[in-house]
Amino acid sequence: MRRDDVLKVMTFSLRVGEEMLESAVATSDVEQVMRRLTHAYDLPGCEVSVTLNVITLSYVDPYEGPLSMFRVVDIDEPRYDEVVALDTLSRRAESGELSIDEATAELVRIEQSANHHPFPVTLAAAMASVAGWVVFTGGGFVGATAGMVAALLVEVVVRPLARPRLPVAFVTLCSAVVAAGVPTFYAWLELPIALTPAIVGALIPLLPGGALVASVSDGLSGAPLSSMAKGLQATLTAVAVAMGALVVLSLGEQLQVVAPLEAVPATPMVAFFAALIGVSGFAVARSLPWRMVPGVMLVTGVTWGVAQVGLFEGGTVPVATFVAAVSMGLVGQLVARLQRTTAVIHTTTAVYVLVPGVAFYLSMLAIAQGATEAGTELLVTTIGVAIAIAAGIALGVAIGRGVPAPRPRVRVWARPVRRRG
């Protein structure tokens, strides 16, 4: 192969990997896609390495000598439309449908494309998602309206702060202040709101569910450095959310804000549909194409059902949660195979139905009220449950990948075709 063609293939593969890593896709998935692409375009000897946020691609040309390329990636919030488009592009390239020039042109189109949904749609989806999570945790109608106002302020006022490249942790902290502040303001006005579930529901979309799943997946796939880096990123995000919540809780203590209503748990049916709204709204807010939303809802419904059955049968919360996480990974992988896409979009969205948001908030509340030891103990337990969720998802995905694909039906007998004479 000519040197120019080698450079084309390596550059294309490197750019695909960069776009995937920017969307917080697990390191193992990025490396696998890059290897498939180089093999599809007759460079099977390429070595791919993703360490932290650096992608390295090396190839030894028997005539021209060794060649290495690397790219430093700025990891950002995922755009699920890009993840889906890149997965489709890699499948088409691997099947031989696209030449290297055609694939590169398609990649440029993906890189330059705007969000799959217009801003009013993503804004409405984010508001609906928070409202769903508030109802899911027992916040009721008034709490849902407070959550929607908080989501509106976050998307319109706080999110644009990330454009000047302000630290992500700072933007997350400000988002948490707004998410917890609006329900607290409702309570200060003595509106009939159940304060705790309203705050928890508004904070759930800010928690680092996807980053935690990617961290554990990298650790189990033999990429410890990337696993630790993404784990640190998830920790920093959780700390930023906790600090934002603590600021509002401390202010509420100073103002002597009292919750006007006690939290009333949602009925199982209400919680089920609220979870579907919360997950699907979150997915659309991250630009997931409409055709993929039913698959995400299916994975969410199965996960929630397995968790409820486990609790009903007398299982402990950690065990029921772990089993539900395994089922999420397994079903997510199988649904992704049916939809011909990656399981990342299913697992990193449906994971929020298992996130221990109430326990996380209660630990922050205990710390704000001076019960540091009890709050820290509950926080450590919550972190352990979160890690178990991520490990269960990774295990389920691995099991799903091992399930053999159904063989296509082949007609061994066909009706003879009459020739027109």
Name the band, by pLDDT with cuts 50, 70 and 90, for residue 279.
Answer: very high
pLDDT (average), residues 67-83? 82
DSSP per position, 242-275? HHHHHHHHHHHHHHT---SB---PPPHHHHHHHH
State residue 414's pLDDT score.
38
- Give dist(CA 148, CA 168) in Å, integer: 22
Higher pLDDT, 380 or 405: 380
State residue 411's pLDDT score.
41
Count the alpha carbons within 13 Å of 17 in the hemisphere toward its beta carbon.
32
CA angle 19, 20, 26 (to 5 degrees): 150
Higher pLDDT, 415 or 354: 354
State residue 149's pLDDT score.
95
pTM of the model: 0.84
- Give dist(CA 322, CA 395) in Å, integer: 10
Which of 121, 96, 104 is closest to 19 using CA atoms?
A: 104
Name the band, by pLDDT with cuts 50, 70 and 90, for residue 111.
Answer: confident
- Give dist(CA 80, CA 40) in Å, integer: 24
Exposure string of 119-151, with b = 16+ CB inside 10 Å and e = fewer, is eeebbbbbbbbbbbbbbbbbbbebbbbbbbbbb
Residue with tokens 């992500």: 168
DSSP per position, 133-197? HHHHTT-HHHHHHHHHHHHHHIIIIIGGGGTTT--HHHHHHHHHHHHHHHHHHHHHTT-S-BHHH
- 366's enclosing H/E stretch is helix 357-368
- 67's enclosing H/E stretch is strand 65-72
Residue with tokens 């705790």: 196
Residue 165 clears pLDDT 70, i.e. is over it = no
Residue 416 clears pLDDT 60, i.e. is over it = no
- pLDDT tens string 301-360: 999 999 888 877 776 777 888 899 999 999 999 999 888 888 888 988 898 888 877 777
- Give dist(CA 44, CA 298) in Å, integer: 37
CB 207, CB 237: distance < 8 Å? yes
Classified as helix, coil or strand, 26 is: coil
- Give dist(CA 355, CA 366) in Å, integer: 19
Residue 42 clears pLDDT 90, i.e. is over it = no
Classified as helix, coil or strand, 56 is: strand
CB 70, CB 57: distance < 8 Å? yes
- 59's enclosing H/E stretch is strand 54-61
Residue 249 clears pLDDT 90, i.e. is over it = no
